[in-house]
Amino acid sequence: MTRVDMFERYPADPLRLAVMVMLAAASVLAMTGELGRVLPPHGLWDFGAFVASGRAAAEGLDPYGIYPLTPHVVLPGFESWNPNLNPPISALLFQLFDLAEPQASLRVWLWISVACYLATVVLLVRRYGQGIEGLLIAVWAFGLAGFWDTLFLGQIYLPLLLMAVGAWLLLERQELLWSGILIGLVVAMKPNFLVWPVLLFLSGHRRPALVSLAVAAAVSLIPAVVLGPGVYRQWLSLVASDGERAFFLTNASLSGLAARAGIPAAGTALGAALLLGLAAWAFRRRPAVMAASSAALVASVLASPLGWIHYTLFLLPVLLHHWDRRAMWVVGGLLVVPVPFVIDQFAAGSGAQLTIGSVYGWAVLLCIVVVMLPRGDRSRRASLAT
């Protein structure tokens, strides 16, 4: 497939172009507000938790404890400490953030993150865009709420996103070794993406799956050797005790939707059912590598206990791969809704929190429906031609 195959198969569609113009306009509007939120100094937020975690590990302390730099979130009806939740390998990597004064490190990290995202968007536009539509895709991508909130919090998602998109594109080209390596690095840092190699394996795409699992396991052994195996006990203890944050409105997972509906236990059951259903589908249907990858990436967010809005950035290649399906335009629009607007719903009633306050969760739920529904005749004929 060439980088313009989507547009060759689906000739210029005035409706699609009009929708993309509207998405780009909404993105520009979102950017104007987000620039004022992200660029001025606004504290360390999650980056402070990362510095604290790395510093604690270097001093032989619990990298998952509460320290002066650990952010404390207080909102109407919600209060939480936000320590580092990443696996123990992060406690080693985050020591690099403490080489300079934290605010200076945060500024450097912000521009590294922007560069990684720019590279990601360029790769996706080269693959899925052409002419004016490629430009509109790029504008829309830079308006996504997950991008801006990642920068605001000083989060680490954007280099990982670049790896995930690189793996996606390499899988398309049947570069199975390097795609597996990149997937393994993502899984080592964000274990919820373990769904990706598992579904690949069950679908019969064994080589990238086994390579990624081996890479993730090798990386995960490093902190056990350097910090001692007890660091995994500390991490798992924190993860097990962190269920109350599922309610937070930027959690786009089934657990978040269930918590806001007043039935938090249902979130775990629904997530498990989704994963089991996808496992059976992959094993019985043996879907193509990109179909398995699409389902895996969406399920990695939807079935996670904490599928933050930032994780929806990993759905970018999925959305663009299925961009010929109009429901994906709705998903793309919902993911532009700025985080401050969603957070404001904490002050509203439970009904608002479950509806407009859960816009990201509904977007991801719609995404999995689109990905799993059979394509129409037009799309099926086009896919058979590639």
pLDDT at 377: 46
pLDDT at 75: 80
pLDDT at 9 over 50: no
Binned at pLDDT 50, 70 and 90, residue 296 comes out as: very high
Q: What is the mean pLDDT of residues 186-201?
A: 98
pLDDT at 243: 78
Distances (CA, A) of 80 to 190, 245, 317, 352, 354: 21, 7, 33, 21, 20
For 68-132, the DSSP string reads TTS-EEEETTEEEE----S-THHHHHGGGGGSS-HHHHHHHHHHHHHHHHHHHHHHHHHHH--HH
Q: How far apart are the C-alpha atoms of 182 and 190, rounded to whole Å? A: 12
DSSP letter, residue 51 = H
Q: What is the mean pLDDT of residues 96-104?
A: 97
pLDDT at 383 over 90: no
Percent of the chain at pLDDT > 90 equals: 88
pLDDT at 241: 87
pLDDT at 67 over 90: yes
pLDDT at 376: 61
* Residue 153 near residue 198, CB atoms below 8 Å: no
Give 117-151 pLDDT, tens digit per residue.
Answer: 999 999 999 999 988 999 999 999 999 999 999 99
For the purposes of burial, counting CB atoms within 10 Å of the CB of 379, is it exposed (0-12), middle (13-18) or buried (19 or more)? middle
Binned at pLDDT 50, 70 and 90, residue 78 comes out as: confident
pTM over 0.75: yes
Give 238-260 pLDDT, tens digit per residue.
Answer: 999 887 889 999 999 999 999 99
Closest CA to 46 of 154, 147, 158: 154
Other Cβ atoms closer than 10 A to 131: 10
Other Cβ atoms closer than 10 A to 154: 25
Q: How far apart are the C-alpha atoms of 290 and 72, rounded to whole Å? A: 40
**Which sign does the torsion angle of CA 119, 125, 130, 134 carry?**
negative
Q: How far apart are the C-alpha atoms of 145 and 335, rounded to whole Å? A: 6
pLDDT at 200: 98
